[in-house]
Amino acid sequence: MTADDPENEPRGKSDLDLHTADQASPERIDAQTIATTILTKCVSGDDVSGDFAKLAEISDGGNIMEYLATALAEHSSMLTTPQHWMTLSKGAEVESYITVLRIARRKMSGANRLIIATKLADTLRRKGDKVSLEDAEQILAEDIPTITDGERNGEELRALGSALYTRSFIPLGKKEKFGTGEELPALSASLDDLRKSAEYAREGGDEENAIQSEIRVCAVQLDHNYGDAAEILETLDCLVAKLQGAGSTWAKRFLKNALGRRVEAAAKSHDAQWGMYYGEYIALPGIEQHCGGKEAFDEWKAHYNPFLPREETESA
């Protein structure tokens, strides 16, 4: 990722040399001011939702997305540094965020283009409709090959790892929601992408995201009853051990994922430590929120609580 340093912070609108104050209408100046404010808030982590709402009220707000995306492309840390792009993605209405990403992608090349393409594809695939899934698939099909040949540096390897991780969701998403293709080819394509993702991430020096991809391999296998649950449990035990004591926010999140999947693998393999794993998992701070809220967590517990009567657990 691009280093988070002052050189990558947004400059004022005069530095962008897109429009000068004496050439622009008052409304355009207002929109440019709002766009510059959005960039500044991406750095500070302040909420930008109100600023996007103001843009929507300006007749030139649609065109100003070009200004905003250009500024983002010129300061790629805005879209590659996690705290910056997460501020943007949370504050922008999804279609505005997609618009900004599409424009920024066209203005970038190399690893930065693939990073933006991956964020765009991930946003589209989360929408879940067929057109969006196919759009996400096409975007990655266009941009992944641009850095798969020849020698690759660490940034390019990490970008490839993230892109393949995102692409792994698409074949199964199309199969599950729209019956597109057969399940085994979709499953194989997903697992292949995830294994390559882990390989690229690790080669690029990103051990945490390599582990994330390996956890996802186990998750896909468990969700589709593919592979030996006892072997998957062994793999998850190893991944949990690697993440124990990790300090980063993402590593802690990945650890919770691994611990939850370990419960599922223990249940499917009828492992003797199933109850212990379950008790440890449900006692984790914030685990209900991590699982998507009380309703989702209760549903999960109904399936994987080893202390329920077996017929109740199996019928849940």
DSSP string spanning 9-37? SPPPHHHHTS--TTTS-HHHHHHHHHHHH
Tell me how far apart the terminal alpha carbons of the chain are, to the nearest angstrom.
44
| Biggest CA pair distance of the chain | 76
Measured at the alpha carbon of residue 179, what is the angle toward residues 176 and 181, in degrees to the nearest 5? 105
Tens of pLDDT, residue by residue, the chain (316 residues)? 333 332 323 333 333 333 433 445 555 556 678 778 888 887 788 888 888 887 777 765 566 777 777 777 776 666 666 666 677 777 778 888 898 889 889 888 888 899 989 999 999 999 989 899 999 999 999 999 988 777 789 999 999 999 999 999 999 888 776 565 678 888 999 999 999 999 999 999 999 999 999 999 999 999 999 999 999 999 999 999 999 988 788 899 999 999 999 999 999 999 999 999 999 999 999 999 999 999 999 999 999 999 987 554 444 4
Predicted model pTM: 0.82
Q: 5-38 burial, b for 16+ CB within 10 Å, e for fewer?
A: eeebbbeebeebebbeeeebeeebbbbbebbbbb
Helices (H) and strands (E) in the chain, counts: 19, 0
Q: Which tokens sit at 227? A: 């592979």
